[in-house]
Chain A
Amino acid sequence: MYVLSAIASLATLGLVLGWLLAIAAKYLKVESNPIVEELEALMPGSQCGQCGFPGCRPAAQAIANGEAPITVCPPGGSALAEQFAALLGVSIDLSNFEEPEFLIAKVSEDTCTGCTRCFKVCPTDAIVGAAKQIHAVVADACTGCQKCIAVCPTECLQMHKPEVTLRNWRWQKPLPEPVGAPA
């Protein structure tokens, strides 16, 4: 008897509360702009803040409201701007758009004190290390957001051009040569 009434009362309670919450959720629904969700899904999502907004979602909201240009995201570069243009149905002239020079952070091992401040702020967990150990930057994961540069107490983190390795080396584009030019 106890068991039955316990099961019945808890199940009823759960059902009634769930039903009430469902009704409340329907009436108190927060309308969000679906375009913001789509823009945010295209973004890198590392919340690096290079655009000047606190994160990717505020930046997506600003783009959707027309308060920010679609070229606002530096890590995304021109490729992301083209995707935004296609999604929003606006034309974009990228002939004047300068691809920002891609720099990544690098630890100078002479001056690193192993203070761990840099990898606490890294949005992509690209810095490895431990307390009082010299840190290192995983070049593939660094998005060049420069957050670590600001917190480094010894200025041992600096931005460098990424090293050319076998993994990221690309064949140079051929130089445009006029037809029939002497070899």
Chain B
Amino acid sequence: MGEYLMLIVGTALVNNVVLVKFLGLCPFMGVSNKLDSALGMGLATTFVLTLAALSGWLLEHGVLIPLDIGFLRVLSFILVIAAVVQFTELVIHKTSPVLYQVLGIFLPLITTNCAVLGVALLNIQQESGFMESVLYGFGSALGFTLVMVIFAGLRERLALMAVPVLFAGTPIAFITAGILSLAFMGFAGLSPK
């Protein structure tokens, strides 16, 4: 149990998928203008990432290894991720039309969120077991959501600040992201390794 907790904390904070591994930067910059949509995006990605990590492990150990066709890994993972994203889109359209409208194009674009494919592939690379894979996916997604929410909160406040004209808009957002990344590097001290 403690091991699993360590795994979640480790993936969410120490090896944060956005700010330490620099995966999934596109929704990180794209959907972080408003706190609500950032949280919605984070939750949708959490759902997709966890399911993708789970189905990626099943696919790897159920199909790819027994048939010895590891060269199809990326292709089949993308196929599964696309299907999971489509499913998520259906669920969100049904349960929350407002969120569906707010997320807009970024919802189907979760398919191309490199964090989703990246985590599924990293799981295979690290030869993790089933529970570890799922928790790794879930922890990464938690970290993603956390960073999205923090960054959206920062950007909402930044919008009210008197930022010098040269830095206004996207440049100050990039600088903020850099400082946030520096802050997350500090979590490296938590790591037992």
Contacts and interface: CB of A to CB of B under 8 A. Distances in A.
Given A6-B69, A10-B75, A20-B87, 20 more contacts: A6-B67, A6-B72, A9-B63, A9-B69, A9-B76, A10-B76, A13-B76, A13-B79, A14-B79, A17-B80, A17-B83, A20-B83, A21-B86, A21-B87, A21-B90, A24-B90, A28-B91, A29-B94, A30-B93, A30-B97
Interface in B58-113: 59, 63-64, 67-69, 71-72, 75-76, 79-80, 83, 86-87, 90-91, 93-94, 97
A25 interface: yes
Given A6-B69, A6-B72, A10-B72, A28 B93 contact: yes
Contacts of B86: 21
Contacts of A24: 87, 90
Interface string B109-138: 000000000000000000000000000000
Contacts of A30: 93-94, 97
A172 interface: no
A2 interface: yes
Contacts of B87: 20-21, 24
Contacts of A29: 94
Interface string A3-14: 001100110011
19 contacts: A2-B69, A5-B69, A6-B69, A6-B72, A9-B64, A9-B67, A10-B72, A10-B79, A13-B76, A14-B79, A17-B79, A20-B83, A20-B87, A21-B90, A25-B90, A28-B94, A30-B93, A30-B94, A30-B97
A57 B159 CA distance: 31
Nearest to A26: B90
B48 to A, nearest CB: 14
Given A21-B83, A24-B87, A13 B68 contact: no
Nearest to A3: B69
A15 to B, nearest CB: 11
Interface residues of A, number: 16
Contacts of A25: 90
Contacts of B90: 21, 24-25, 28
Given A21-B83, A21-B87, A5 B76 contact: no
Nearest to B67: A5
B80 to A, nearest CB: 7
Interface string A55-86: 00000000000000000000000000000000
Contacts of B75: 10
Contacts of B69: 2, 5-6, 9
A135 to B, nearest CB: 24
Across the A-B interface, give the 6 residue pairs with the lowest CB-CB distance, nearest first. A17-B83, A28-B94, A28-B90, A5-B67, A6-B69, A9-B63
Nearest to B76: A13
Contacts of A28: 90-91, 93-94
Nearest to A17: B83
A9 B79 contact: no
A53 to B, nearest CB: 14
Interface in A126-165: none
A6 B75 CA distance: 11
Interface in A1-59: 2, 5-6, 9-10, 13-14, 17-18, 20-21, 24-25, 28-30
Contacts of B71: 6
B44 to A, nearest CB: 15
Nearest to B93: A30
